[in-house]
Amino acid sequence: MFGFFKKSAKKPHFQRLELDGHSGVSSEGFELSKLFLDIENFVRINRDYYLETLTKFSSQNEHSTTIDRLLPCWISKMTSSLGDNFFAYRSKHFYLISQQDERYVSNFLRSLENIYFRVAKVLGDLHLEDNRRIPIIIFPDVECYYEYIAYYYPEEGEFAESGGIFVNDLIPHFAFPLIEQSAATAVAAHELTHALVSHLPIPTWLNEGLAVNIESTITGINPFHLSREKHNKHLSFWGEDEIQEFWSGESFFRVDEANLLSYQLAQLITRTLAGNQHSFHAFVADAHYDDAGEAALNKHYGLSLADVIENVFGEGDWVPQPQKWIDSTR
């Protein structure tokens, strides 16, 4: 006996958005022409006006709820400002603004959703549980990408190159240059880790240590190992002044060898601490950038950060000294 069966079409895992002009005044009382400014050819949020208006019009002064309501407007204005050939899409956890064809968009968002699931699984209860989609902007070339992200750096200076960043602004979002999707996996895993722990006031070394180790886990790229040659290089670099730059986060923004050595050291000590998973999760949840995580490490491991460094480099003045940090950064 022969019959028939039906097969329903799969629901698309992403959809293209129809953009609204969003002009005038929003329901939160914001005058949009004052809230969204055209600065250096890109849409930027007027932070001072936002905070002033939030206090006046938000009944509970609730930043998160207000941003949820303003996000579609930001997506619309950002997409329109980039040009007629840019479109906006959404998937389960992301908004994407891009000029690439829908095949690229489909593959990119499918890959990112997979990475999101894997990063969240590794982080466990540490990751930010937020139903808000994270916006992503893919710029057509590196020049446009650097022009956009320069706004979030100091006015003058030399800064390390990047293949994508997580912008922890009023509207947190990712910015990427157009790169091969195989290369995007590592960058996305790294930056997505930053996004999912952005609610925690952790120090820069721990933030980067988490990101680099999770990136290594997801991509399968071998983690950093301290060979004799690399150990000697670290020994010759780290001293009592340099280690304070590491604890404060300053060394991660240098453009000399300190940048790479900082990431390597962060990866090494984070991986070491993560060997005790229960203590590590409690430590990350309590660590604070004000003291580089010193109090939290003492509480959950019975150790000082100086002890951790001493196990790698031997005796030295390794204790975090926040009073010496001129411009502490997370």
pLDDT of 246 reads: 97
> 134-139 and 173-177 as β-strands: parallel, antiparallel, unpaired?
parallel
Residue with tokens 């509207």: 171
Residue 86, pLDDT score:
95
Extract the tokens encoding 301: 């491991």
> What pLDDT, on the 0 to 100 scale, is given for residue 327?
57
What is the reported pLDDT for 154?
85
Strand partners, 134: 94
Q: Is 302 left (phi over 0), alpha (psi -120 to 50) or beta?
A: left
Q: Whole-prediction pTM value? A: 0.84
- Which 8-state DSSP code applies to residue 178? -
**For residue 221, what pLDDT is reported?**
79
Amino acid at 206: L
Whether the CA torsion 229, 230, 233, 239 is positive or negative: it is: negative
Which domains does the chain show, CATH number per domain?
Answer: 15-199 (3.30.2010.30), 205-324 (no CATH)
pLDDT averages per 10-residue partition of the chain, 330 residues? 57 80 63 90 92 72 77 92 93 95 92 93 85 90 94 84 89 89 83 93 97 91 83 95 96 92 96 93 97 98 97 95 75
pLDDT at position 289, please? 97
Give the pLDDT confidence score for residue 84 in this predicted structure: 86
